[in-house]
Structure 1
Amino acid sequence: MPDSAGSAEDAEAILRGRLAPALDPRGDGRPVLLLVEGAAGTGKTRLVERLVEAVAGTVHRTAPGGSPAGDGPELLVAEDVHRAPAEDVARLRALLADPPPHLACILSYRPEELAVPGLPLGPDTDFPARLAVVRHVLGPLGVAEVRRAALAALGADRCTPDLAAGLHRLSGGVAQTVADLLDLLAGQPSAVGLDRLGTPPRLDVLTLRRTAAVPEEHRRIVHAAAVLDEPATSHDLGMVAGLPGRSGADALAAALRAAALEERGDGRYGFGSPLAAAAVRRATAGPVREALHRRAAKLLARRQPVPWERVAVHRRACGDERGWLVAVERAAGRFEEAGGQQHAVELLESALATGPVPEQARSRLARLLARCAVVGLRSDETLKVLRHIVADPGLPPAVRGEIRLDLGLLLCNQMGEVMEGRDELARAVDDLAGEPVPLARAMSALAMPYGPDASFAENVAWIERAVAVAEESGDPVVRAAVAANRVSVLLNGGDPAAWPLIERLPRDSDLIGCRQQTSRGLCNAADAVVWLGHYEKSRDLLAEGVTLAARSGAVYAEQTGRGCALVVDWATGRWAGLAERCRAFVDESGDMPYLASDARMVLGLLALARGDWADALDRLTGPEAADLDTGPVPISATVSGALIRLALAHDDVAGAAAEAAVAWQRLRAKGIWAWAAELAPWAVEATLRAGDTAAASAMTAEFAAGLDGRDAPSADAALEWTRGVLAEHTGRTTEAAARYESSAAAYRSLPRPYHAALTAAGAARCALGGAQDSGPAVALLTDSAAVFDALGATWDAARTRAELRHHQPAAERRPPGRPAYGDALSPREEEVAELAAAGMSNREIAATLHLSPRTVEQHVARALQKTGVHSRQQLGRVLGPASH
């Protein structure tokens, strides 16, 4: 009696293949019996219906006692044989003991409800040798099958991988329960989660009916399984039920006979799904349920290691509040030790927000919550709890300072409230006098240089104090935290002394706290060297830091590393799919503005290069963007550079110069001139175009002085660019061309292809202004346009091609007269259409391509006519990926 196996589709095909020969009048007519076995709700009826539809022959859907109607091929179907009257089962047995030729018989049944286990037709069953017998066992669905069902019922928008996994877990993979849950979900708004659905009525009725079928004296074993809510041994079930020894074994046997419980493997028993257990718990009287929870808590507390989170659930359910808080604290502490801070945060938040917690326990839990929160992701609930606690005037200063420290870090990092967060850190320093471990952490946090509230000199002073206090503390984790921040401070300042310190970070420490701090230090170091221009080193640091962060549970560090990787890809010209990756990252971390700032900045810079100026402005200055006065200074400087360039493109020289002055003052107050790399060329150009040559010269000199002795190759290339801008606007064209070419060569070596193309185009522009031999300069422009095209920098490509046309050698110019392009777009029409599709106005296109607005209007009209679309937005869809 072989069982069929394989995937559901393969198994069904095999079953059809076994039935078909018996129903073929040309075959040998050997009869076949197909036993379809499956627990309630596993889809037996649907399978039988599909098989009946698929096979040929005269079909009689009969009751179990039915019999063939004639001599020809016949299909006999008897469903739910476990419910059939004895006389019908006897007739089936008799038929199958001597089956006629060309008979195919399908019997379905629930194994858990058979009168005699394993024998659907009773103890007298005896199949003759000429009867082919096949058994097909239907088990639970897999996650992939549940996902397919969810996709069909809810659509792709609602069917996330998490939803499919949740459905599978709640339903136990039972097909009918999956279908019922999907019916409930389909009738609810998309925001309603699985936890709000409750138990489907069909499963409720089935579970409670089976529980009621267990004799009353044995029923507590079912209630015990519901309270434990996981597969358990017979010993554990008996202890929780208060039925030790033989009485527990008898009760379990009775529950299994009634199918109220089932074997779950490895000598354990329980329910097929958590929803079934929940139905029994709800139906259990309160006092009985409390006694079960009390015994469950005692049982679990004797295990090693103690599963404290589960102990907490049982102690709370039986009203043991003191024991509940002890278990919560121990569970959270264990999660922290194992790198599960995010899980600890959820547990502690729930405890502190649930109701009155004694003051002493409250401060201990709050400190633990604060410590765990700073390495996890954003939580508004944690923020609210911590703010409420630090406002308590009766809190001891050291306790308040410790909580205030982590509150400040949470505000700075996860919440993006940098100025408020640093105020909290400064207050924490005052509260923590005499407490070296948290004091060193607070000082170290104030040393981080990204914020605009303190100069770099102040940041250096803080880190020096933090190093001294950390050494005094002797604590290895705080030493690792301070060492990680020291690396960031020195690297951002372009100090070569930072590199050996990276290698000394304790990657292989036995302490998970040290590994978490190291992962944070590596990711922060990767971010620092992006701004310096060491891109391969940044990638290496990211690979190591993100991997270590993921292994050690440093979720926030892992996310910062992923954000930094987007900036590396932008800088090095890996633009294919970059916008999509940035948008996905923003969606994932959009409620943490500081974390999402890298991705938003990159999206704005990509939009600017495309000429999609409205999108660029929204990404760089919209309501979701980082505030330029309070956000990370390197991002503010880069965004200001883009805004200056945008204003210059609109010929808003006054606006560009004003932005340049404000942004330059921010950098001067900070004192980290490596961060001027994305600002200086544009700020100096805006200042020169505004007529203030003296200020532009002073800015260039200040930039150069700030880089003296610093390891900042990207800023060095930008300094050459800036000097080229100054030379070009002061009539030193030959020097300008040389400066631009020197900058382009430096950018190519980094590599930074976009910036190399921008500066190479500048060198060509200056060379074409004075050289008689224009060939090399035209070649530079041609190469730059090709780079812009490859990157998808539509606006830059169009500008460069316009410059090329002005200087194209006579031999390459087209002959007089208008070429006949027919229905195809001419090169100029395609160029104009690309910029129009990117969102530029006719006046903006005219300024870019050195055309009149009227000519641009005519080109746009012809492009719309030739492509057959009705709007500028639709042009992007017919022109190809380079135009949008």
Structure 2
Amino acid sequence: MLLGRRREQETLNRLLRDVRGGQSRVLVLRGEAGAGKTALLDYLAETMPAESVSRAVGVEPESEIAYATLQRLCAPLMEYVARLPEPQRQALEIGFGLRVGPTPDVLLIGLAVLGLLAEAAAERPLLCVVDDVQWLDRMSEVILTFVARRLDAESVALVFAARTPGDEQLLGGLPELRVDGLPDGDARALLDSVLPGPVDARVRDRIVTETQGNPLALLELPRGLSPAELAFGFGGRAMPIANRIEEGFQRRIAELPADTQTLLLAAAVEPLGDVPLLWRALERLNVGPEAVAAAESSELLQLGARVRFRHPLVRSASWRSATPARLRAVHQAFADVTDPHQDPDRRAWHRAHATLGLDEEVAAELEQSADRARARGGHAAAAAFLERAAELTADPKPRAARALAAAAASFAAGNPAKVPELLAAAELGPLEPLQQAGVERLRAQVAFAVNRGRDAAPPLLAAARKLADLDLGAARETYLTALGATIHAGDGVKAVAEAARSLPAGDDPAGRLLTALSGWALGDNTQLRAALTDDLGLLWLTAPAAQEVWDADAWRRITSAALDAARSAGALFVLPTALTARAGALLADLRLADAATLLDEARGLQEATGLAGDPLAAMLLVALQGQEKPALELIDAAMRDAVERGEGRLTAMADHARAVLNNGLGRYAAAQAAAANAVGHLGISPWAELVEAAAHAGDVAAAAEARDRLAEQTGTDWADGTHALADALVTPADETFRAAIDLLPLELPKARARLLYGEWLRRENRRADARDFLRPAHEAFQTAGATGFAARAARELAATGETVRKRSGSAAEEELTPQEAQIVRLAVAGKTNPEIAAALFLSPRTVEWHLRKVFTKLGITSRRELATAL
């Protein structure tokens, strides 16, 4: 029985009822150490059959070993791995070190874990609990957060326990249950159950107050204290509850026999709970089975099929109370008994902690472990291995090289804050010129990753110049990043372009794009269209470059191929950019619902990983939807960020979105002012917005000037159609409007051209002709959800005397959620459930569940009826 936990137990009971009913549920228990989170996890686990429960605990010593906690959680479920699609199965097995193969991306492993849970839950509801998530390794954290956000209809409960105070962003955005101290009455009852004898009521009050009702503190802190010692509470020291509880455990551990203390320490160091391995290590330490009795009678540890501590704080108390010499001896014992062939990385890690001083042999082992970790996608683990390898290296030259490699791995792991310290360590040793240039390049890359403003480009340019005489390929890539940095900053583009032209031209995608972008920066964009590539790593530059040269086909192709490639490869770090770039292209084709789904996915990934894509599509979406308040909130927030960081291109994005919003709402003076501020940035061409706004505002000179600027772009239907439309707005004529409508290849500008032509015809009092163009424009905008422009078209139609009807459509169809709608579109396109699941990062069972709901809403019974029903 859990005192004072009725509310929490009712929440957990509801969670299990939902899971048994076929739904998935996620919950994060947050509370201070000892608040009862582990007891609640125990309660939850005891209500399920043992074979339906998978459990893992984050362990501080392993917080830098990739997939450590995730692998423990998945271990009981690996019998289902054969049911996964081959790419997912291979990624998971490589990530867990079960096979050798090409480096898998984190996202593909995440999809494999999602599928693994779904397959296990297909036989019976599954409960997965993860305690002490503050000690999760980074890769386990990213994957479990991703999986938690994608669970839906798999009959899986995923419940975490997180300590506070701590990183509140950890597992942020997931449903939470706060676990606080017990109410006074329950706290007193719990305290009375462990007090050694009668205690003055005032002392009891003080103890309850000092512990703030923390259950573990109430249970553990009075243990071993006499009534006299309790008379003054716990000494009145200002110490966090977690520290007090851990200190209490340390006191109890210190009273145990030496062999039992060693047993506890060994169990704390070995987080897998592998009893045979533990006994082999204890044998090396001359500790016999008799040591177990004292540990179990003290209620600190249970030793059965697995090792289980009374509470995670017992593990940390044992670990922290050990002398350095004793801790090294335990690590050495585990290194001696760990199979170097089956688990070389854990053996190397134990050897590293057992070593005092310098040891090249151990450092070399750690370096090999880092290579294996990188091959599994574990860059954070590789960084930890390499950093320790550098510390153990005597020779300054390899020591510096290992520190530099650790810095590169930390950057790849998304931990730029660690990089400067490691680079400083690398610079203490002798570095070859190429290595020194690499230091500067990495330092500059970190600066650009953290802040894409005006300060990012100069160090990148300096690194590129150093690399020019050492490694042409690396120099070109660094010049290209420097050029991209100046494009984002909106300043210094020509200087970088001129410097880049000193290099021999490269024939690889990055080299060709560097040559073309340098030419564009210096006023010659003739090579830009030919340099457009589907290379995923260059998407951040090629997508806006395709817009810059008005190549609609290339824009569609590049963004579609990039999204497919990012998804199929599970390229987590590129996927947000691919999602937002593709969303931008979909908006241009008036596919607002599809774009919104991708942007929702991008937001979810940003919450899970901290990685963000280009914000322009999100701003344009709400601008096109005519949602003035949320649009202005997004735009103003982007503008503040841009000003703070000195990021000129972001400022232009915000102004461009503001111009679209105001043109849709018919506020032409405001649209003209915003569009005029957005000129001169790659892939952001506000000239069409400027012509439209200025023409409606009566500023013919400004409209003509913008039209003339558009005349500089020719050679594609998009460019020629846009120029024709601008010409028609400045000098209205039927043939010019019609030419624009015929030429424009993208649905949004085509619909806007019809609207503009219809508006002119209505002003010319040609009402019947105006309706022929206003009607399809209104239908296109309303169907897409571009309500601002739809309302503008509706007003014009009403002015012609036509009654504007709302879009017809079944109520059931309009009730489809964005996710259901996207699943339906893929199903109509002929995709199977596993293919849809892989595309949307769902489990096939969730796809099947959503389709059943869609069939009910639409009144159909099979996929064959979907297209007709819609």
Normalising by structure 1, we get a TM-score of 0.54
Structure 1 residue matching 2:750: 3-state secondary structure: helix
Distance in 2 between residues matched to 1:142 and 1:197, nearest whole Å:
36
**Alignment correspondent of 2:785:** 792
Matched, 1:598 2:634: no
Matched, 1:609 2:624: yes
The question of whether the paired residues in 2 share the 8 Å contact of 1:644 and 1:657 is answered with: yes
Deviations 1:347-388, CA, capped at 9 Å, x for gaps:
778999x999997677435532443355454x4513653786
Listed as ranges, the matches of 1:414-453 within 5 Å are 414-436=449-471, 438-448=474-484, 450-451=487-488, 452-453=490-491
List alignment gaps of at least 5 residues for structure 1.
Answer: 1-6, 14-38, 49-140, 151-157, 171-180, 190-195, 472-478, 503-517, 728-732, 815-825, 828-884
* 1:423 shift after superposition: 0.7
Q: 1:589 aligns with which of 606, 616, 631?
A: 606
Matched, 1:704 2:745: no
Letter in 1 for 2:537: R
* 1:426 shift after superposition: 1.0
* 1:566 shift after superposition: 2.6
The question of whether the paired residues in 1 share the 8 Å contact of 2:467 and 2:474 is answered with: yes
The 3 A distance-change label for structure 1 pair 145 and 331 is closer
Distance in 1 between residues matched to 2:342 and 2:797, nearest whole Å:
74
* 1:759 shift after superposition: 1.4
Letter in 1 for 2:127: A
Distance in 2 between residues matched to 1:359 and 1:590, nearest whole Å:
41
Choose between structure 1 and 2 for higher RCO, CA contacts under 8 A separated by at least 6 residues. 2
Letter in 1 for 2:579: R
The question of whether the paired residues in 2 share the 8 Å contact of 1:425 and 1:446 is answered with: yes
**Alignment correspondent of 1:533:** 552
Q: 1:720 aligns with which of 724, 727, 740?
A: 724
Q: 2:405 aligns with which of 368, 374, 390?
A: 368
The question of whether the paired residues in 2 share the 8 Å contact of 1:757 and 1:788 is answered with: yes
Letter in 1 for 2:408: R
Distance in 2 between residues matched to 1:638 and 1:11, nearest whole Å:
44
Letter in 2 for 1:708: T
* 1:740 shift after superposition: 3.5
Letter in 1 for 2:276: S
Listed as ranges, the matches of 1:109-508 within 5 Å are 144=127, 146=129, 167=160, 220=262, 223-232=265-274, 234=276, 237-239=279-281, 241-242=283-284, 260-264=302-306, 277-278=315-316, 280-282=318-320, 287-300=325-338, 303-304=340-341, 307-308=344-345, 311-312=348-349, 315-316=352-353, 319-320=356-357, 329-344=367-382, 363-373=400-410, 375-377=412-414, 379=415, 381-382=417-418, 384-385=420-421, 398-412=434-448, 414-436=449-471, 438-448=474-484, 450-451=487-488, 452-455=490-493, 459=497, 462=500, 465=503, 467-468=505-506, 482=511, 495-498=528-531, 502=534
**Alignment correspondent of 1:756:** 750
Deviations 1:615-674, CA, capped at 9 Å, x for gaps:
33332243566638988877655543333455678998776555544433x24xxxx6xx
The question of whether the paired residues in 2 share the 8 Å contact of 1:637 and 1:663 is answered with: yes
* 1:255 shift after superposition: 9.1
The structure number with the bigger radius of gyration is: 1
The question of whether the paired residues in 1 share the 8 Å contact of 2:146 and 2:605 is answered with: no
The 3 A distance-change label for structure 1 pair 388 and 703 is farther
Q: Aligned-residue CA RMSD in angstroms?
A: 5.9
Deviations 1:579-621, CA, capped at 9 Å, x for gaps:
576466457538999x64633x233323333443343333224
Deviations 1:721-775, CA, capped at 9 Å, x for gaps:
2222222xxxxx3x2x44334333444x43x2x3332211111112233364x32
Distance in 1 between residues matched to 2:576 and 2:528, nearest whole Å:
26
Q: 1:803 aligns with which of 771, 796, 809?
A: 796
**Alignment correspondent of 2:761:** 767
The question of whether the paired residues in 2 share the 8 Å contact of 1:184 and 1:197 is answered with: no
Structure 2 residue matching 1:453: 3-state secondary structure: coil
Normalising by structure 2, we get a TM-score of 0.55
Distance in 1 between residues matched to 2:501 and 2:267, nearest whole Å:
56
* 1:334 shift after superposition: 3.6
Structure 2 residue matching 1:144: 3-state secondary structure: strand
Structure 2 residue matching 1:576: 3-state secondary structure: helix
Count of residue pairs the alignment pairs up: 603
The question of whether the paired residues in 2 share the 8 Å contact of 1:185 and 1:197 is answered with: no
Listed as ranges, the matches of 1:508-523 within 5 Å are 519-521=536-538
Matched, 1:779 2:809: no
**Alignment correspondent of 2:687:** 680
Distance in 1 between residues matched to 2:244 and 2:720, nearest whole Å:
67
Identity %: 18
The question of whether the paired residues in 2 share the 8 Å contact of 1:332 and 1:347 is answered with: yes
Matched, 1:547 2:567: yes
Distance in 2 between residues matched to 1:490 and 1:724, nearest whole Å:
32
The 3 A distance-change label for structure 1 pair 788 and 12 is closer
The question of whether the paired residues in 2 share the 8 Å contact of 1:422 and 1:446 is answered with: yes
Distance in 2 between residues matched to 1:12 and 1:758, nearest whole Å:
51
**Alignment correspondent of 2:582:** 565
The 3 A distance-change label for structure 1 pair 784 and 460 is farther
Letter in 1 for 2:589: T
Matched, 1:576 2:596: no
* 1:791 shift after superposition: 2.8
Structure 1 residue matching 2:454: 3-state secondary structure: helix
Distance in 1 between residues matched to 2:632 and 2:40, nearest whole Å:
59
The 3 A distance-change label for structure 1 pair 142 and 465 is farther
Distance in 2 between residues matched to 1:622 and 1:804, nearest whole Å:
36
Distance in 1 between residues matched to 2:457 and 2:435, nearest whole Å:
18
The 3 A distance-change label for structure 1 pair 579 and 46 is closer
Distance in 2 between residues matched to 1:570 and 1:346, nearest whole Å:
43
**Alignment correspondent of 1:844:** none
The question of whether the paired residues in 2 share the 8 Å contact of 1:429 and 1:442 is answered with: yes
* 1:402 shift after superposition: 1.0
* 1:303 shift after superposition: 0.9
The question of whether the paired residues in 2 share the 8 Å contact of 1:688 and 1:696 is answered with: yes
The question of whether the paired residues in 2 share the 8 Å contact of 1:261 and 1:270 is answered with: yes
Distance in 1 between residues matched to 2:601 and 2:241, nearest whole Å:
29
The 3 A distance-change label for structure 1 pair 779 and 654 is closer
* 1:292 shift after superposition: 0.8
* 1:162 shift after superposition: 6.2
Distance in 1 between residues matched to 2:282 and 2:403, nearest whole Å:
33
The question of whether the paired residues in 2 share the 8 Å contact of 1:445 and 1:485 is answered with: no
Letter in 2 for 1:224: A
The 3 A distance-change label for structure 1 pair 656 and 162 is closer
The 3 A distance-change label for structure 1 pair 355 and 576 is farther
